[in-house]
Amino acid sequence: MSTRKRPPRYEEEEKRPRRTTRTTSQSRSRSNSSSSSRRKNSTSHSYDEDFYDSSTKRRSSTSKSNTKKRKKKKKRKMRLLLFLEILIILVALLYAAYYFVFSKMQTDHVNMENVTINHFQDDNINHYKTIALFGLDSQDNDFGEGNRSDAMIIASINKKTKEVKLLSLYRDTFVNVDRKEGSELTKLTHAYSFGGPQLAVSTINQNLDLNITDYVTVNFKALANTVDLLGGIELDIQEAELGNLNDYIGNMNKINGGNSPKIKKAGKQTVDGNQAVAYCRIRYVGNGDFRRTERQRTVIEQIAKKAKSTNPITLTKIVNEVLPHIQTSFDSLEVLSLAKDVFRYKIVETQGFPFNTTGTKLSGIYYGIPT
């Protein structure tokens, strides 16, 4: 059997190492391990990316939510600060207006606790506020002793119904006045002149069995200014009143200033401030003091009627013009308490007192003696 000989190798070929394609178990193990590791790394990488992506999204969402909350809180704080600033400004303005208005009013420094009152028990008395109104013939803002009360009216206000009753007191009524020098029988109008509002209120309480502790005093200027600022009031002038009325109009022009014309004819007509005050002062026409007090109540009713239909600007002007010519025992808060219901008040009854008197002269001076 012949043996086939290999062809001779070149020298370079013999020197080249032999390659093998066999795969050992160890290499397969390393290969499998490497593949598994790559798969794990690939899986791990994918999971981490998802985790961090979602975490980033959550942080971004939370950050936006917190930003919105901070903005809302900031807006609430700004609104609260703005509200407080507006509130402070309003309070300051109200205080300034309050001080500006009521600083003009003359509040009484007389001790009204010493006023003589009659103590009696009546459950209904708490529903009423009773005030003594005095109209002085004072030309200046002098409200003390030495001035006669030309008009005296008791105003009774029902706090529940807001109904008002006016009771005029006749100035010539013969009464007992307890002066410092001793008791004296004289005209009711003299009480204010002898001891100011304190003695006047005490005299009314003592002779009429009342328990009034508050009063309001006005002078001619206050009444005239009120009527003028309201644009006048309507009065029904009688023919018999013209002469006496025109005399008082001339007198009022001298006292208050102005140039109010005389009334030329009788009938319903609009009168100005000086004319209205002159109308209140007529004494010697009709039934003397009875008719005179009736005229005064008519003027008050007409002023109240006109005031209810006027505008706030005019009312403010009246307050500014009239308060300096008023003195009262009320403090500012009490005035506000009464003023808040001013448009609800309704005058339901007016009359004069005493109901029956007998006129007589003592030492040549006329007195009205209650009977």
pLDDT in tens, 289-338: 888 999 999 999 999 999 888 888 888 888 788 888 888 888 877 777 77
Q: Are 45 and 160 within one domain?
A: no
Distances (CA, A) of 288 to 76, 228, 368: 72, 27, 11
Tell me the whole-structure pTM to 2 decimals.
0.69
Reported as type and span, the H/E element at residue 271 is: strand 267-271
Distances (CA, A) of 225 to 16, 147, 275: 137, 20, 11
Distance CA 164, CA 349 (A): 7
Distance CA 3, CA 91 (A): 131
Q: Output the DSSP codes for 115-183.
A: S-------GGGGGEEEEEEEEE--SSS--STT--EEEEEEEEEETTT-EEEEEEE-TTBEEEEEETTEE
Mean pLDDT of the chain: 78
Q: How many domains does the chain divide into? A: 2
Q: The CATH number of the domain where 251 resides is what?
A: 3.40.630.190
Tell whether the model's pLDDT for residue 13 goes beyond 50. Answer: no
pLDDT at 220 (0 to 100): 87
Q: What count of other Cβ atoms lies within 10 Å of the Cβ of residue 281?
A: 21
Distance CA 183, CA 188 (A): 13
Tell whether the model's pLDDT for residue 138 goes beyond 90. Answer: no
Residue 316 lies in a domain: yes
Using a 10 angstrom Cβ sphere, with 0-12 exposed, 13-18 middle and 19 or more buried, the burial of residue 1 is: exposed
Tell whether the model's pLDDT for residue 75 goes beyond 80. Answer: no
Q: Are 92 and 218 within one domain?
A: no
pLDDT at 369 (0 to 100): 86
pLDDT at 1 (0 to 100): 47
Distance CA 368, CA 248 (A): 24
Q: Work out the pLDDT band at 107, boundaries 50, 70, 90.
A: low
Residue 9 lies in a domain: no
Render pLDDT for 231-263 as a digit per residue (tens, 0 to 9): 999 999 999 999 999 999 999 999 888 899 999
Distance CA 243, CA 148 (A): 24
Q: Output the DSSP codes for 220-262.
A: HHHHHHHHHHTT-EEEEE-GGGHHHHHHHHHHHHHHH---PPP
- Residues contacting 171, CB < 8 A, separation 6+: 148, 149, 150, 151, 152, 187, 188, 189, 289
Higher pLDDT, 140 or 195: 195
Both tokens of 240, joined, read: 């018999």
Higher pLDDT, 54 or 305: 305
Q: Work out the pLDDT band at 123, boundaries 50, 70, 90.
A: low
Mean pLDDT of 192-196: 93
| Contact present, 211 and 120 (Cβ < 8 Å) | yes
- Mapped onto helix, strand or coil, the DSSP state of residue 17 is coil
Q: Are 70 and 170 within one domain?
A: no
Residue 326 lies in a domain: yes
Render pLDDT for 161-174 as a digit per residue (tens, 0 to 9): 999 999 999 999 99
Reported as type and span, the H/E element at residue 108 is: none
pLDDT at 302 (0 to 100): 94
Q: Which domain holds residue 354?
A: 116-370
Residue 8 lies in a domain: no
Residue 11 lies in a domain: no
Of 103, 135, 158, the last residue of a domain is 103
Q: Work out the pLDDT band at 20, boundaries 50, 70, 90.
A: very low
pLDDT at 43 (0 to 100): 47
pLDDT at 303 (0 to 100): 93
Tell whether the model's pLDDT for residue 287 goes beyond 80. Answer: no
Q: Are 287 and 350 within one domain?
A: yes
pLDDT at 55 (0 to 100): 56
Distances (CA, A) of 76 to 62, 72, 80, 81: 21, 6, 6, 9
Higher pLDDT, 51 or 329: 329
Q: By mean pLDDT, which of 25-29, 52-56, 145-149, 227-231 is the weakest?
A: 25-29
Residue 158 lies in a domain: yes
Residue 31 lies in a domain: no
Q: Are 99 and 124 within one domain?
A: no
DSSP state of 211: -
Nearest to 201 by CA among 136, 112, 273, 139: 112
Q: Are 79 and 120 within one domain?
A: no
Q: Work out the pLDDT band at 48, boundaries 50, 70, 90.
A: low
Tell whether the model's pLDDT for residue 65 goes beyond 80. Answer: no
Q: Are 94 and 128 within one domain?
A: no
Nearest to 280 by CA among 294, 260, 259: 294
| Contact present, 171 and 253 (Cβ < 8 Å) | no
pLDDT at 367 (0 to 100): 86
Tell whether the model's pLDDT for residue 28 goes beyond 60. Answer: no
DSSP state of 59: H
Q: Are 91 and 204 within one domain?
A: no
Q: Are 235 and 325 within one domain?
A: yes
Of 103, 130, 152, the last residue of a domain is 103
Of 45, 71, 103, the last residue of a domain is 103
Q: Are 208 and 325 within one domain?
A: yes
Tell whether the model's pLDDT for residue 148 goes beyond 60. Answer: yes
Q: Are 225 and 343 within one domain?
A: yes
Length of the chain measured in residues: 371
Residue 16 lies in a domain: no
Q: Are 161 and 41 within one domain?
A: no
